[in-house]
Structure formats: structure tokens, C-alpha cells
Structure 1
């Protein structure tokens, strides 16, 4: 039995029967059977259904958002925004998939030569709890529009949301078994990846889970895409607009109660403006409203599990022992963790070296531009970096120096359906979203007509 429990109240929300191996096998067979017909549907038909999915999300956003809030503690306004973003990605691919996947003509010695982008079949998505709808939809919308079939293994603590996602596609009128949520634990993932009728796997999650999934997929010679953890830096250069930068950095670190792979976790500030910036940053963080996630005024909710809050607590305590200083927050009460700011962070401390998944940010001062670059690139993660400067020429010069998958100037790192999303180093490989993402799970078929 898989149980969904409210991290704010502790109450059980729902329980779900875990599928047996035989039931999983039937689901995969049904998915494979559906692929044979779904891949033949027109883009017009797929687009029509995907637009209906977007409408379903908008029309019933409250229903879906409340399930998210109750299952993992996301403040209700942020949960609603997540549903609305899912509608956006559905609309984006409904409108753009056909042109993104049209044959790419290439001039050669042939009479006609081109690359065709064709669906590959059933794709397994292994997804996390922190954005229980968005992480899934940014896979599902392009995968289905490309003609593939999706099967989902979601995090056990958000299984109600997982079932709701399947419900979205069913209510929108997609043919049965185009998208199935498999109510299973992690132990069944390996056999699914190895199944003959499962052609690829995508995972968003921890490095340990990514390594395991990638290893299995590699043994089976199957495509995998990994979006793993991050320790994004927020770099405040000497000419940054302090007032605007502070607002952006507060949002970057503390939205979703800090439980985001792309959150700004390491705040790097030019030494001469560090005091001024930090005073205002601390004031704004102190004013963030904590409380009941169902309250529209709440910005900081609870963490999804008490064990996660305990992990963050241990990282902070260990860092303090090594010389870091807590200047705000630092206390935990069950699943609630105070918004926390820690100064004096440096390499060798967990708050600098590791991913901190919660409402805590480390602060490090730098003396010049090169040191800032070195501090950013010293991380084993490479998901994204935000830099803040009023000098556009300087920003463009700095962009190539960073090793991350994304550089955002005067903005927090965020995913956008129109742009590719993914990381470097232990943050993963492959790309989601945009025309890059929809092509990840296609057969890029070379077609060559000879001259006679």
C-alpha cells in the first residue's frame, strides 16, 4: 500500500494499491498496443487533444492544486501557478510540435535527402515530488505530441497527484492508455526499464537515482535523459541593481519552500557591496510569511517530509561546526524549517558543496570577477547560474566562462517551454523543452533517395 500523507497536518490523505508485477506487465502491453495506433494519428488530432488537456488543467486548477498542497506542502498560490504552467506547456507543444518535427531537408548528392523525426514508442518517466505536475507535463506534452506513449513512476508521497495527471489526459479525451500512472515503488523500476517494449527512460531526481537508472538503461542500450540536482549560484557583481537583485534572489531561493533543483542556493556577493546587499536581503527574507500552505498569504510552507528537514538541519549544523554563521533562522519544528541565511560559506562545507533542498541559503563574498567564476565552477553541479550586473557587454563576456547548462542575467533560473532545459556535470544530461526536448525521444531517421 502506498500512502499519501499531509506534511503540514500529518493526516493520511489517500492510500493506493501497489500494482503487482503481473499488473505492471499488462499496463506495458496496453501502452505498446496503443503506440501502434497513436503513432499514426495526425498532428492535428494530437494538437486538438493537447489543447483540451490545457483547458482541463485551467478549468479544474483548484482541484489539482489542492491535491499538490495537501500531499507535499506547496503553498496553494504556488501550486495553482504550477498547474497554469502545465497548461502553458500543453498549449506550446500543441501549437509547435508539427513544425518542430517536420522533415529536415539536407542538400547532398542525392536527388532528395532529409532527416525524419519519428516516435520511438513507450517511454518511462521517473519523477519527483517537488513539482508533482510540472515535472511530468514537461515530459508528457512533447512525448505525446511526438507520437510516443508515456508511463509514469511518480514519487510515492504524491500518488494522488500522479493519478490526477492520468485523469487530465483521460478527461481531455486522449485514447485509453496513451498515458498511464503506474502505482509502484522504486524496486519495480529496473524491470520496467529492461522490458522489451519500453524504449527509453527519463528521470528527474537525485544523483543516486539518476546513476542507477542510467546504468540500467546503458546495459539495455536504451536512451535516457537525466535532470538531477543543482547548487545554483546567484552572483552579485559590483554594479548590480541591489534593490531589484534582492527581490529576485529571495524568490530564487525561497519559492516552493526552497525545494527546487534550480533554486539559487549559493549567494555570491562582491565584497564591497556585501553588507548593503545582505542587510536588505535579510530584511526581505525575515518578512516572508510562513504558515498553513492552504492559506493564500503563505509563502513558506513546510517541507515535504520530516526526514528532508532533518537532512537540511544536519547540513547546516555541520557547516556551522566548520566556521559558518547563522544570521537568520536555523530552527526546525517537525516538517517546518525557518527561512535561513548562513554567512561565511566556503568549499568543504555541506552548505557550499552539497545540494541544500530547503529554505536555507549560503553566503560567500568574492574579491574580483575571476574569483566569482571560480566559485561558481567549483561545484560538481552544473544546472544553472544567475548573474546580476547592469553592464550588458560585461555579462555577455562572462557567459562563456560558466560551465552550467544555463546562464540567466538579472533573473532567476527557470524553465520555459520555449527554451531547452538541462544541466552539465552531475546535474545530468540531455535536454527537456523547446524543439531540443521534443526530439530527445525520436528516431532521427536519415532518408536518402539516389539518382539514376
Structure 2
């Protein structure tokens, strides 16, 4: 039995019965049968189903957003934006799939040589809770365009959102069992990965989870894509525009209460701006108003679970004990639910949890850099490499540094976000493989070469 809890109140809101191993196997077998039908469905018809799905997302935007706000705790406007992004992604892939999946002729001296793109089977998606719709959709939509089936193992605390998605696919006219939710505990994931119908595995989560599931995929010789979070640097050079930079820093850290993999976590600031940047960011973070996600005056929602709050508090306390200065916050808020005060740590250095670990919550870590080269060295002194940003008045300098920053996505004078038009993923302990754009579309496609010799 899975229980979802409202993180704004700490009270349970719904229960969902679990699938046992036999039911899980039946769902996966049914997914393989549905895929056999779906792969033979003409691509234009598959794309039309995606267009219908986009329409449903828009028609049901408000109730879907309300469910995400209740289960996960994100502010209602953020939840509405997430649902809207899902609709736009459906339309984007429906438009681009015919071009991206078209047969490609290859040069040759005689006969015909071509590359074709075919589905692999059922893709097992082990998904997190922070974007309960978008995380599933950004992997599922391109794979459905290819012709694959998708089985989703969602995070237990957002089971309701996952079930709502399952119903949405059915309402859009996708074949029965093509997209199904596996209500299974972590203990059944090894059996799911090993199941004969599963052809590939995608996971978004912690490095620990990625190591475990990646090892299972490797042992079963199955393709895997791992997006494992990060400790993204926000590099501020001495020539950056301070006001614009601080506004962007607040957005980059506080979106979804700091619970985004691609959110900026380590703010590495050149010495001439370090003190002023810290003062301004302190004032901005202190102005946030905690409240229920449905309260239009709230700018800070709760953390999604109590254990996440407790781990974040540990990271802050251990960093302060190691020499970081607490400029703001550093404590749980005295109110119902899982609220943590906006927190700013200064003088954070390698070896502290706030520098070395992923901060998943409203906590920002400031690190002083002597110059651009020192800032780059500090940014790369991390086991993670998902995203990062560089802020400078010299775009050419920013581009040169971006090429040397060890990350899957780097922006110059912009806040990084996952965008369905751009490939997304990390390096180092942030994972491997790519989601989104054509790169993500082809991750679970059989890229088949066909040669036909003239008789």
C-alpha cells in the first residue's frame, strides 16, 4: 500500500494498493503486446495521438496542477507551468518525429544502403517526485513517437499524479497497456529490469539509485539512460551585471523550493562582487513568504517529504560546523508541514556538504573565487556535472569558459532549464545518456542499417 501525504500539512491524503510481482509481470507482458500493435501503427497516426494528448493536458490543466500542488507541494503557478510544458512537448515531438525518424539513405557504390529507426520494446522509467508530470513525459513522449511502450515506476509520494497520467493516455486513444504505472516497491525493481519485455531503462534520481539500477541494466544487457542530479555551479565573474545576476540567482535557486536537479546550488562569485552579491541575495531570499501552495501570496512552498527536510538540515549544520558562515535561515520553520527557511551559507569550500553534495531545498551556498580561472576550477571540483551557468559582460569569454565547464548543459547569462528542443543529461556522477530533442528520441531506438544489393 502506498500513502501520499500533503507536504504543506503533513497529513495523508490518499492510498494506492501495490502491485505484486505477478501483477507487475502481467503489466509488462501486456505492454509488450501493446508495443507490437503500436510499432505497426503508421507514424502519422502515432503523432496524431500525441496531438490529442496535448489537447487533453490543456483541457485538464487546472485539476492536474492542483493534484501536483497537493501531492508534491509546489506552488500552484509552478504546477500549472509544468502541465503546460507537457502539452507543448507533445506537439513538438508530434511535429518533429516524421523528420527525425525518416529513413536515411547512405552513400554506396552499388545497391541501396539506409539507416532506419525502430522501437526496442517496453521502456522501464523509474521516476522521481519533483516534476511528477514532466519527468515522466519528457521520456515517454519521444519513446512513444518511436513506437516503444512505457512502464512507469513513480516515486510513491506522487502516485496520484502518475495514475492521472495513465488515465490521460487512455483518454487520448493510445492502445490499452501501452503506458502503464507500476505500483511496486523498490524491492521489485530488479525483477522489472530483468523481465524479458523490458528493453531499456531510464532513471531520474540520486547517484545511489542510478548506480543500483544501472548495474541491474548492465547485468541484463539493457540500454540505460541515467539522469542523477547535480551540484550545479552559478559562476559570477567580476564584470557581471550585479542586479540582473542576483535576480537570476534567486530564480535559479528557489524554483520549486530548490528541488530541481538543474537548479543552481553553488554560487561561485569573483572576489570584487562577492560581498555585494551575498548582501543582495540575502535580502531577496529573506523576502520569500512561506505558505500553502494554493495561497497566491506564497512564494515558498514546503519540501516534498520530511526525510528530505531532515537531510537538508543535516547538510546545513555540518557545513556550518566545518566553517561555513550562516547568513540567513538554517532551520525548519515552526508551522505544520515540511517547510524549511530560505538559507544562505557563505565561505563554502570543498569538503563541506554544501559544496560536495546536492542541496535539494531552499539553501544556497556562496564560494569566493579569486578570478575566472579559480572560479572554473572550483566549479569543476565536484563529482557532479549536470548543468551550470556563467555570468559575464563578455559573451566570448563566457563561451570559452562554458566549453571547459564539465557539465551536460551550460548557459551564459541565462538560467539553465530542461527544454524539449535541447538534449538534456549529465556527465560524471550526474549520469549518462540524453533525454529530449532528437538525441533523446533515439536513445531507445534500434538504429538499424539495411543494405540491399542489386541482383
Whether the 8 Å CA contact 1:110–1:448 is kept in 2: the answer is no
Question: Does residue 437 of structure 1 match 2:440?
Answer: yes
Offset of 1:447 from its aligned partner?
A: 1.1
1:411 corresponds in structure 2 to 414
Offset of 1:278 from its aligned partner?
A: 2.0
CA distance in 1, matches of 2:90, 2:110: 38
1:156 corresponds in structure 2 to 156
Whether the 8 Å CA contact 1:255–1:299 is kept in 2: the answer is no
CA distance in 1, matches of 2:182, 2:405: 39
Whether the 8 Å CA contact 1:257–1:303 is kept in 2: the answer is yes
Q: Pick which of 23-32 and 335-344 moved more.
A: 23-32
2:424 corresponds in structure 1 to 421
1:184 corresponds in structure 2 to 184
Whether the 8 Å CA contact 2:143–2:149 is kept in 1: the answer is yes
Question: Does residue 364 of structure 1 match 2:367?
Answer: yes
Listed one character per residue, the Cα deviations across residues 152-197 of structure 1 (whole Å, up to 9, x for unaligned) are: 0000011000101101111111111110011111111110110111
What's the RMSD between the two structures over aligned residues? 1.0
Offset of 1:449 from its aligned partner?
A: 2.1
Whether the 8 Å CA contact 1:229–1:381 is kept in 2: the answer is yes
CA distance in 2, matches of 1:409, 1:112: 45
Pick the aligned partner of 1:348 from 348, 351, 361.
351
Offset of 1:233 from its aligned partner?
A: 0.4
- Secondary structure in 2 aligned to 1:273? helix
CA distance in 1, matches of 2:4, 2:264: 29
CA distance in 1, matches of 2:204, 2:85: 18
TM-score in terms of structure 1 length = 0.98
Offset of 1:294 from its aligned partner?
A: 1.3
CA distance in 1, matches of 2:34, 2:147: 10
Q: Pick which of 338-347 and 176-185 moved more.
A: 176-185
2:104 corresponds in structure 1 to 104
- Secondary structure in 1 aligned to 2:262? coil
Question: Does residue 221 of structure 1 match 2:221?
Answer: yes
Whether the 8 Å CA contact 2:399–2:412 is kept in 1: the answer is no
CA distance in 2, matches of 1:286, 1:224: 42
Pick the aligned partner of 1:376 from 376, 379, 387.
379
Offset of 1:356 from its aligned partner?
A: 0.8
Number of aligned residue pairs: 452
- Secondary structure in 2 aligned to 1:332? coil
- Secondary structure in 1 aligned to 2:315? helix
Whether the 8 Å CA contact 1:4–1:12 is kept in 2: the answer is yes
- Secondary structure in 2 aligned to 1:301? coil
Listed one character per residue, the Cα deviations across residues 286-325 of structure 1 (whole Å, up to 9, x for unaligned) are: 1122111111232210001111111011111111111101
CA distance in 1, matches of 2:268, 2:54: 39
Offset of 1:90 from its aligned partner?
A: 0.8
Offset of 1:11 from its aligned partner?
A: 2.1
Offset of 1:451 from its aligned partner?
A: 4.2
Alignment of 1:87-236 (within 5 A): 87-236=87-236
Offset of 1:345 from its aligned partner?
A: 0.1
1:274 corresponds in structure 2 to 274
Whether the 8 Å CA contact 2:257–2:361 is kept in 1: the answer is yes
Listed one character per residue, the Cα deviations across residues 20-68 of structure 1 (whole Å, up to 9, x for unaligned) are: 2111111111111111110011121111111111111111111111111
Listed one character per residue, the Cα deviations across residues 326-346 of structure 1 (whole Å, up to 9, x for unaligned) are: 101111135110110000100
Q: Pick which of 167-176 and 336-345 moved more.
A: 167-176
CA distance in 2, matches of 1:141, 1:169: 11
Question: Does residue 58 of structure 1 match 2:63?
Answer: no
Question: Does residue 85 of structure 1 match 2:85?
Answer: yes
Question: Does residue 258 of structure 1 match 2:258?
Answer: yes
2:392 corresponds in structure 1 to 389
2:295 corresponds in structure 1 to 295
CA distance in 1, matches of 2:99, 2:449: 18
Alignment of 1:232-243 (within 5 A): 232-243=232-243
Q: Pick which of 353-362 and 18-27 moved more.
A: 18-27
CA distance in 1, matches of 2:223, 2:109: 31
Structure 2 gaps of 5+ residues are none
- Secondary structure in 1 aligned to 2:233? strand
